[in-house]
Amino acid sequence: MTSHGRSLGNDMGTEAGDCIFCSIANGQTDTEILLRGGELVCFRDAKPAVRHHYLVAPASHVGNCATLRKDHTPLVEQMKVMGRRILEENKVSDLDDVSEMSIKSLIRYGPQSYWFITVDKVLLQLNTNGMVK
């Protein structure tokens, strides 16, 4: 969505059984669920890069960006909405403000990141290619 980085998961090939995001969504960890709605949960990043660093994950296992297909588009759009909502609830209005981020975090989460992709790029690729490359 922005250079604040909201990962959709990049752990290639993880199955639901050993997926940390599924464990969190199913209440098997002590991670506090901040928002829950529809098929999604929202919680704080375990190693936040900034004060407001949240993750939105599907409650049931999806895999990662590479496993997404066009019919996941509504799910990804809902993830974006929940991401916006947690930021609004925490009075984060400037999504381009990266002043709190370290150089290391900017490299990891920035628009040029090797590891992460913005939600808008995911939606664009799903709509044009039917998959995320």
Residue 55 found at the interface with Zn ion (CB under 5 A):
no
CB 74 within 8 A of CB 20: no
Rank residues 87 and 119 by Cβ distance to Zn ion and give the closer one.
Answer: 119
Asked if 61 touches Zn ion (CB under 5 A), the answer is: yes
- The answer to whether 22 contacts Zn ion (rule: CB under 5 A) is yes
Identify which of residues 22 and 117 has a Cβ nearer to Zn ion in the complex. 22
Report if residue 68 touches Zn ion, rule: CB under 5 A. no
Q: How far is the CB of 19 from Zn ion (least distance, A)?
A: 3
Q: How far is CA 47 from CA 29, 37, 57, in A?
A: 15, 24, 16
For residue 93, the Cα-to-chain-centroid distance in whole angstroms is 18
Q: Helix H segments across 8-110? A: 20-25, 73-89, 103-109
Q: Is 57 helix (H, G, I), strand (E, B) or coil?
A: strand
| Beta-ladder partners of 36 | 41
User: Which residue number, 21 or 109, has a Cβ lying nearer to Zn ion?
Assistant: 21
Q: Sheet with 33-37: list strands edge to edge.
A: 33-37, 40-44, 54-58
43 lines the binding site for Zn ion (CB under 5 A): no
Nearest position to Zn ion, beta carbon: 19
Q: Which of these ranges, 38-46, 57-65, 93-101, 103-111, lies near Zn ion under the rule CB under 5 A?
A: 57-65
Q: Which residue ranges make up the site for Zn ion (CB under 5 A)?
A: 19, 21-22, 61
